[in-house]
Amino acid sequence: MKEEQIQAEIQVVQMRVATIREGYKKGLKFEDMLKNFPLIKIRESRMKKQILMYQFAEILKVVGEAIGFKVSARGWAYQLETFGICDKSEFDKVQKLINDCRKIGLLPIDFVAEETSRQFTHVFNPNKLTTQEALLEYFEEANDRANYYIPDYWVDEKYYIQVLVEKIDLVTLFEPTCQNYRIPIASSKGWSSISQRWELIQRFKYHEDEGRIPVLLYCGDFDPSGLKISDLLKKNFGDLYQASKWDPYKNLIVDRFGLNYDFIE
């Protein structure tokens, strides 16, 4: 497909998306405008697929603006099913397509709602202090304000370190040390999510621009899956290069410090 033809296809997509946006403003339903829309069902050349991905992403942005809140990748699959774009057998394909669009910058990394643990929100515990006790506590905190000042710990440091562990229990194990040295730590729960990788990248990118060498310390299971996770960490960061413009192969040091064979011995 020639460059002129690609630009023409993109213009068609942009006009199509603009028509959908205006139609929604006029009260038309997405169900009617998007029914049987060819977003993921057409088998075409690689370039044609990229144009379809662009179209898919632009339409999701329009629908996302109308919804007004973030939806998980799985939630988008349900949403698109109501539009006749996919059926339940294609939900995995839809989720992969959304994640691919996030990786290459067609959709923002934070476009989808990140899955969270099953916690209740908006649970309020009333303050049991009297008004006088609360005021006294407030003034004591104000007097102790210096304890809340956080200097930039990494100034003049050669390296910037973050820690990723496979299991949540390991966070508990290493958290005291990480807290003492102001080192970010999190559990990947196996393979890290795109959003988690993006967060790691943003800090690495900032500190690399400040002249520090990025270091990722990783601790995971000593089994085929756990070893594969650590082996592919740089590649997984690299998958987001088009969105992040950060090259993990340039300076990033990945150090798997456990579990290793010598430790098990």
Q: Are 160 and 214 in contact (CB under 8 A)?
A: yes
**pLDDT range class, residue 1, cuts 50, 70, 90:** low
Q: pLDDT at residue 118 above 70?
A: no
Q: Which of 253, 88, 71 is closest to 158 using CA atoms?
A: 253
pLDDT, greater one: 265 or 165: 165
Domain boundaries, the chain: 3-111, 159-264
Q: pLDDT at residue 94 above 70?
A: yes
Q: Are 75 and 113 in contact (CB under 8 A)?
A: yes
Sequence-distant (≥ 6) Cβ neighbours of residue 164 within 8 angstroms: 185, 186, 187, 188, 192, 200, 216, 217, 218, 219, 233
Mean pLDDT computed over 169-198: 88
Distance, CA of 178 to CA of 219 (rounded, Å): 14
The CATH architecture to which 159-264 belongs is 3-Layer(aba) Sandwich (3.40)
Q: Are 235 and 192 in contact (CB under 8 A)?
A: no
Q: Is the dihedral of CA 70, 74, 78, 81 positive or negative?
A: positive
Q: Which of 60, 256, 54 is closest to 163 using CA atoms?
A: 256
Mean pLDDT computed over 233-257: 94
Structure tokens at 129: 């202090």
Structure tokens at 143: 């007097």
Q: pLDDT at residue 265 above 60?
A: no
pLDDT of residue 264: 59
160-183 confidence digits (pLDDT tens): 999 999 888 888 889 999 999 999
Mean pLDDT computed over 228-242: 91
**pLDDT range class, residue 226, cuts 50, 70, 90:** confident
135-153 confidence digits (pLDDT tens): 888 888 877 776 677 788 8
pLDDT of residue 188: 86
Distance, CA of 12 to CA of 6 (rounded, Å): 10
pLDDT of residue 2: 66
Distance, CA of 39 to CA of 86 (rounded, Å): 9
**pLDDT range class, residue 206, cuts 50, 70, 90:** very high
Average predicted confidence (pLDDT) for the chain: 84
**pLDDT range class, residue 157, cuts 50, 70, 90:** very high
Distance, CA of 213 to CA of 228 (rounded, Å): 24
Label each residue of the chain as H, E or C.
CCHHHHHHHHHHHHHHHHHHHHHHHCCCCHHHHHCCCCCCCCCCCHHHHHHHHHHHHHHHHHHHHHHCCCECHHHHHHHHHHCCCCCHHHHHHHHHHHHHHHHCCCCCHHHECCCCCCCCCCCCCCCCCCHHHHHHHHHHHHHCHHHHCCCCCCCCCCEEEEEEECCHHHHHHHHHHHHHCCCCEEECCCCCCHHHHHHHHHHHHHHHHCCCEEEEEEECCCCHHHHHHHHCHHHHHHCCHHHHCCCHHHHCEEEEEECCHHHHC
- At 201, the amino acid letter reads I
pLDDT of residue 237: 94
For the ranges 1-15, 80-94, 130-144, the lowest mean pLDDT is seen at: 1-15
Distance, CA of 220 to CA of 240 (rounded, Å): 22
User: Which pairing describes strands 159-165 and 213-219: parallel, antiparallel, or unpaired?
Assistant: parallel
